Every structure is written in C-alpha cells, then in structure tokens.
Structure 1
Amino acid sequence: MKWVLSGGALVLAGSYPTFIERTTVLVNHYKIPLPRLPAAFHGFRLAQLTDIHLGQLVSAAFVEGLVQRTNRLGADAILCTGDFVHARNTIEEIDQIWPLLAKLHANYGVYSVLGNHDHWADTDRSLYWLERTGQDLRHQSKVIYKGKNRIILGGAGDFLEDQLKIDEVFARSDERDCRILLSHNPDSVDSDFDTPLDLVISGHTHGGQVVVPLFGPVTVPVDNKNYTSGLIATPKTQLFISRGIGWSILPVRFNCYPEIAVLELLNPKLLA
C-alpha cells in the first residue's frame, strides 16, 4: 500500500505542471498608475491576451473558452500581444485561431500585434488576418477618445522578426499625450527610440513557466533577465509583462499560472 501511495503521489506531482497548472487560467487584476493619464480615463480597464500558442496541447475549444471569458470581463478595450500560434512553417493554426480571435469585442475596441511565433508560422498569412479582423495595430497608432480627452495606443513590430518602428508609430501624437505601446517582446523597451512612453504592454516570457520559490524563474527567453512578469519600472518607461496562456519549449508550468491580465489605468492625482 505504501508503494502504491508513493507511486500515486509521484505521478500526481509529475503530472501537475503539465495537466493541472498549465491549463488553469487565472484572471489577474493589476492597478497601473500613469501620471499623464487624463482624468476621464481614470479606472479605464484593458484586458490582455498573449502567448496563446494554439497547437499541441492548446486546442481551438480551449481558445474559444478564453475568448468568451475575456469578453465577459467587460473591459473597456482588449489588447492581444502576439504568439497566437505554436507551429512553424504552416498556416493551418493561423487560419484556425483568427476566426476565434475575431469574436473578441469591447466598447473601445480590440487591438493586436504579432509575436515571433506568428512570423515563424507564416508572416503574410498572419498579417492578412490581423488586417481582416480590424484589430491591426502593428506599425500604427490609434486614438481612443472619452469626450475631449484621449489616450494613444501604438503597436510595435516584433523585436526578433520585424522592425519595431516605435518612433514612427507615435509620430503624429502630441508630447502631452498619454502613450501606451503594445510590443510582444519586452526587450523592445531597451531598444533605440526617443518617444516618451507611459506604458509598454508585453508578453513573450510566459513568466518563465517554471518559477522556483526563493530562486525565481529557471529561464526567461529575453536579453534583460529582469523582464519576467508583472509591472516593472525601467529607465525609459513602465513595463507590464503578462505571463500569458500557452507554453514554449516544454508544456509545463510550475508556480506560474497562465493568466488573462486586466490592467486598470489610474491617475495618481485622483487617488489622494
């Protein structure tokens, strides 16, 4: 009996990172103070989906559930920051996931950029769907108005497989504008650009997937190893990194649940 129980415990411990935590998606709420945020946008909520990696072990049915959950959150806008598919050199997963992503809706719009996996699968097909869904923010900016107040959302190209063009994205914005950039890879923050940014929203890291207590992530696929997850102050701007949904390299997560991130934008002056 002891051997049976011990064996069962080992099986459970071994299967937990793959079959339990990896598929348990949390909705996590974050408060993001932005000093230049217009008062009309105080409390504005952004829902972020990133690194879904449709494909092996991440089914279309699973993604459809994510889309429904995200819509039910009632966020003001939805942001998707890339790596929607997993496999390379095929359009099959691209054509499978984008009709599902097209079902996302929010009062102030849905905005998306691509990640490295989307380019590795097929750049042209990914760009086709990005435009077809009306979610395309790559290499452009969109203005969101509330009355006479506004914020500017911009989208960078992927850090590894595209050109960022951050300064070009915000070329028509005003220096007084609150500017928020979507960029799949957080290393973009350390690239060469001059435009002042209030917030950069990224994914790519998966939070490290395996986070050892008192040690931290075993590995993080970025140049700047400080860029793991959550809200980070950098010399240029604030950076938020979501742990995302899917997996890369190995289909496991430990102490690093997948997440749909909900970012509540706050003007610090209105918190007093």
Structure 2
Amino acid sequence: MNRRSFLKSALSGSALVFAGSYPVFIERNIVQVNRYKIPIPNLPLSFHGFMLAHLTDIHLGFLVSSSFVEQIVHRTNSLNTDAIVCTGDYVHERNTLEEIDKVWPILSKLSAKHGVYSVLGNHDHWADTDRSLYWLERSGQNIRHQCKPIYKGRERILIGGAGDFWEDQIKIDKAFSSSDQNDCRILLSHNPDSVDTEFETPLSLVLSGHTHGGQVVIPFLGAPRLPVENKAYSSGLIATPRTPLFISRGIGWAILPVRFNCYPEIAVLELVNPSLAA
C-alpha cells in the first residue's frame, strides 16, 4: 500500500469511527439551553414574560452520572427563571431504590423565586412507585393530582400535575378541581398522550417530556421511533385541538444511549400574552 492509499484508508476509517461514536459520546452529552416563546391567550397581563425552566427525562443511571445531574441542576438554577417545572423520568433502571435515592437529593437543590413543581414519569414508577412518591413529597415539589397558584398581586396562574399515562391515574380534572372558571391552567404531564384522554377542565398549556424528541432525528424524515400513541407528539410547541402542548427533548436516553440531530435540552419557556406580544 502506497502512502496515498494508506492516508485515504486511515481517513476513511477515522470518519467511520467518528460517525459511529458521535451519537453516543458527543451529542448525547451536549446539553443545550433552548428558549421558546409560548403564547397563552388567557395569560394574566402581569405574567407576560414569566419564565419557566423545564427539565424532564434526566434518567440518572448508566452513562448519566450523579455529577452530570448536579451540573444540570446548577445550570438550571443559574438561569434565574421565575419557576422551574419537572415532568418525570428522573431515573433509568427498573426496580432500583439506589437510583431514586441518588437523584432526588440532587433534584431537591433546584430553586426558583416562584417555586419548583414536579410530577413523575413511567420510569419513576418502574423503579419504585412508593419511594418515588416519598421523595416527590419530601422535596416540596409535588404537584401530582393537585394544583398550586402563583400570584402576582391579585392575578394568578395555576400549575397542576397529572399522574403518568402508563403507570398511574391521570386525574386532570381532580388536579384542577379547586380552580376558578377563568383561571390560566398549566398542566405538567410526563406523557403527551395525556392530552388525548378524557377530561373536562380547560387547559391553557400542557408541558410534557417522555419522547426525548425521538433521540434520532433524520433530516427531512423526522424521528423513526416515538414512544407515544400520537406520532405527531415529538418535540417543541404543538397546537392540539384542545390545548397548546410543549414537549421537551429532555436530558437522558432510553432504549439506546444515542442522540443524533436531537441535542438534549433545558427548555426555557417565556409565557406571553399575544395582546402584548406585538
């Protein structure tokens, strides 16, 4: 083999190694902070510009270390958003108290001026329902099957939480049973398929995760695999017949530890009243 052929073969081999390792070792670890404007017609005027940091699908476990989650929590706190919302799947493995007891002391360090609000996902139930519910309550972040108001003067918004679509009772109506007719209601629900279930309460916005954005997004084709019944629910802001739905790509991984054209994200949502957004 002459020098030219050797260099060509070496470069081709290096390119293949890079292409194979990039989704596993590089993109999967590049966590972006992405900012979105979310129009909400019935948003109280005093909440125009209200900022939410949205965390989801952390999946502490294999290839997602405690130190990595510590960094995510620190970055989220440093954004100084008005509130933080978390929509589940904080651990990865089934039947593990160890991962639950590792991740929640870290998540309990989340802090924002108007509070931190969290629900559980299917992986949290698969790990251990009772232990996950214990930490959810102990953290002071529990919003499952209930709602809590955030006030600015006399105006308010409500943050409510659904149970997981697969492993819990959803109970959207119960969550907002104490709300008033004209309230702005924001629902946290791990699985976006919850939007298509039966409930009567009008919702102003639903925040979800679960899909990871597909983890692999092929240009012009989209994500080949989405773990939802409604395949329109991938990531970003989606207009559904009943309510606006925002799906974050989340932090961790499921099935395979890869990401391609689908960076993990901390989503920062700016709530805006369209009448003031011109």
Answer whether TM exceeds 0.5 for this pair.
yes
Partner of 2:203: 197
Partner of 1:171: 177
1:97 aligned to which of 91, 95, 103: 103
Q: Distance in 2 between matches of 1:89 and 1:102?
A: 22
Matched, 1:154 2:163: no
Matched, 1:21 2:5: no
2:128 aligned to which of 122, 129, 153: 122
Measured after TM superposition, the shift of residue 67 of structure 1 is: 0.3
Partner of 1:247: 253
Q: Please list every run of at least 4 consecutive aligned residues from structure 1 whose deviation after the TM superposition is greater than 6 angstroms.
A: none
Partner of 2:4: none
Measured after TM superposition, the shift of residue 69 of structure 1 is: 0.1
Measured after TM superposition, the shift of residue 238 of structure 1 is: 0.3
Partner of 2:56: 50
Q: How many equivalent pairs are there?
A: 272
Matched, 1:112 2:118: yes
Letter in 1 for 2:31: V
Measured after TM superposition, the shift of residue 175 of structure 1 is: 1.1
Per-residue Cα deviation, 1:212-262 (whole angstroms, up to 9, x for no partner): 001000110000000000000001100000000000000000000000000
Partner of 2:192: 186
Structure 2: tracts of 5 or more residues without a match: 1-6
Per-residue Cα deviation, 1:150-192 (whole angstroms, up to 9, x for no partner): 0011000000000000001111101100000000000000000
Measured after TM superposition, the shift of residue 59 of structure 1 is: 0.3
1:216 aligned to which of 217, 222, 225: 222
Q: Distance in 1 between matches of 2:181 and 2:227?
A: 33
SS in 1 for 2:253: coil
Letter in 2 for 1:77: A
1:30 aligned to which of 33, 36, 45: 36
Measured after TM superposition, the shift of residue 139 of structure 1 is: 0.6
Structure 1: tracts of 5 or more residues without a match: none
Matched, 1:7 2:13: yes
SS in 1 for 2:84: strand
RMSD, aligned CA:
0.5
TM-score normalised by length of structure 1: 0.99
Q: Distance in 2 between matches of 1:217 and 1:15?
A: 19
Measured after TM superposition, the shift of residue 2 of structure 1 is: 1.5
Identity of aligned residues (%): 73
Letter in 1 for 2:113: N
1:74 aligned to which of 69, 77, 80: 80
Partner of 1:141: 147
Measured after TM superposition, the shift of residue 90 of structure 1 is: 1.0
